[in-house]
């Protein structure tokens, strides 16, 4: 059996997404910047996709800009807001994705901003009192906090964070890459300046994402070139990717509640089965259903003797999972998230992440294999 439990790293394409992308490849190959008929056709389907995304998020199409993915979108929000909105101080957490963390740290090292890290507890919850304290001491601050942590799944109440940011006139950016397509984001009620998403996290294609820029914020491009994306991002648009992104998000919104219930049941079932079969197992992050991303379950296992070999052993058994963020899986360094939480370094940690395509039978197979590995390497 081959089991794919690494959906937080990337999700398989929905067949309906593949269909519309192939159609676009075959019928709309023109350059959308060209003024002839073929170019206009390509431009038209991009704008239709933009309206689809904006409509689902309850934003204006003029506030949606397509990018190469979440990393570029996060960089754009941080670098350009600091450069163009008079920001001298930024707040983030030690648990952020490296697209945010490394960008902030680099700007701080250059002396462009003063950088503070808001406290988080052992489950990854943001200390809002400390956030208030930091904001009260510094004018014109950028706050960048993700909606759900990509490794442990802990959710942050971004509505509450947005209210605090409003109170102190701070600029608020949230990396919503892990929750886009899994939770509804209503930008008509969420007071946020920048929000980012990536198609491959919700059964769309890799290499395409988007940034929402609140219309009140006037920033310059991160990438210069042509006049694409209304002069906000140079480079010929990824037409097929953009079409696929919009279709994938549309499908997610159509069946979001039924998929949420199904996937939450899978997560709960796996947690219960792991506790029954491996009593010494522990769970990382906030695992309360209302405070945890329903697609992610991060566990620490008692088989300390095989800490360096666990993922390899699972792979040999036909099980794809992750030890942390797949975006840095080639690194020899451990998870910066688990290190920040003070998780036991001796215990191997595994992130299992689920999608609508997974089954309980797959969970039974994985739990059985994990139990065998732990009994063999105590």
Specify whether 327 is catalytic: yes
Instruction: Please report the sign of the dihedral spanned by the C-alpha atoms of residue 22, residue 23, residue 27, residue 30.
Output: negative
- From residue 198, alpha-carbon distances to 209, 240, 260, 353 in Å are 4, 14, 19, 16
Distance of CA 360 to the CA centre of its chain: 25
d(CA 279, CA 119): 31
Both tokens of 269, joined, read 């079932």
Both tokens of 299, joined, read 């566990």
For 136, counting Cβ atoms within 10 Å of its Cβ (0-12 exposed, 13-18 middle, 19+ buried), the class is: exposed
- From residue 241, alpha-carbon distances to 158, 224, 245 in Å are 28, 20, 6
Marked catalytic residue, from 165, 252, 303, 327: 327
Of the candidates 64, 124, 33, the one whose C-alpha atom is nearest the C-alpha of residue 339 is 124
d(CA 317, CA 119): 39
Helix boundaries (H) for the chain: 15-27, 37-57, 70-84, 98-109, 128-137, 158-167, 228-231, 239-254, 256-277, 310-316, 336-341, 360-376
Residues in a beta bridge with 299: 283, 350
Known catalytic residues are 327
């Amino acid at each position: 059996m081959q089991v794919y439990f690494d959906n937080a790293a990337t999700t398989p394409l929905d067949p309906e997404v593949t269909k519309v992308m192939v159609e676009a490849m075959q019928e709309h190959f023109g350059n959308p910047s060209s003024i002839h008929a073929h170019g206009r056709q390509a431009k038209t389907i991009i704008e239709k996709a933009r309206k689809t995304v904006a409509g689902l998020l309850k934003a204006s199409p003029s506030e949606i800009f397509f990018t190469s993915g979440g990393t570029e979108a996060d960089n754009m929000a941080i670098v350009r807001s600091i450069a163009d909105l008079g920001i001298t101080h930024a707040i983030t957490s030690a648990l952020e994705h490296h697209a945010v963390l490394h960008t902030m740290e680099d700007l701080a090292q250059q002396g462009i901003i003063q950088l503070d890290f808001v406290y988080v507890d052992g489950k990854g919850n943001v200390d809002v009192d400390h956030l208030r304290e930091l904001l009260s001491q510094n004018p014109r601050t950028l706050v960048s906090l993700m909606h759900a942590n990509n490794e442990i799944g802990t959710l942050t109440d971004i509505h509450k964070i947005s209210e605090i940011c409003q109170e102190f006139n701070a600029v608020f950016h949230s990396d919503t890459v892990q929750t886009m397509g899994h939770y509804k984001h209503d930008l008509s009620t969420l007071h946020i300046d920048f929000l980012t998403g990536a198609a491959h996290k919700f059964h769309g294609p890799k290499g395409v994402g988007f940034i929402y820029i609140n219309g009140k914020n006037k920033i310059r491009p991160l990438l210069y070139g042509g006049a694409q994306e209304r002069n906000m991002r140079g480079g010929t648009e990824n037409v097929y990717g953009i079409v696929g992104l919009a279709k994938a998000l549309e499908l997610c919104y159509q069946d979001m509640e039924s998929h949420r219930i199904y996937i939450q049941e899978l997560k709960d079932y796996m947690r219960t089965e792991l506790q029954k079969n491996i009593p010494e197992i522990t769970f990382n992050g906030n695992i309360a259903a209302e405070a945890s991303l329903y697609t992610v379950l991060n566990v620490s296992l008692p088989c300390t003797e095989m800490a360096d070999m666990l993922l390899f052993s699972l792979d040999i058994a036909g099980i794809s999972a992750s030890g942390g963020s797949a975006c840095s899986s080639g690194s020899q360094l451990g998870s910066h998230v688990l290190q920040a939480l003070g998780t036991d370094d001796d215990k191997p940690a595994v992130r299992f992440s689920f999608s609508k395509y997974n089954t309980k039978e797959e969970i039974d197979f994985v739990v059985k294999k994990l139990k065998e590995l732990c009994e063999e390497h105590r």
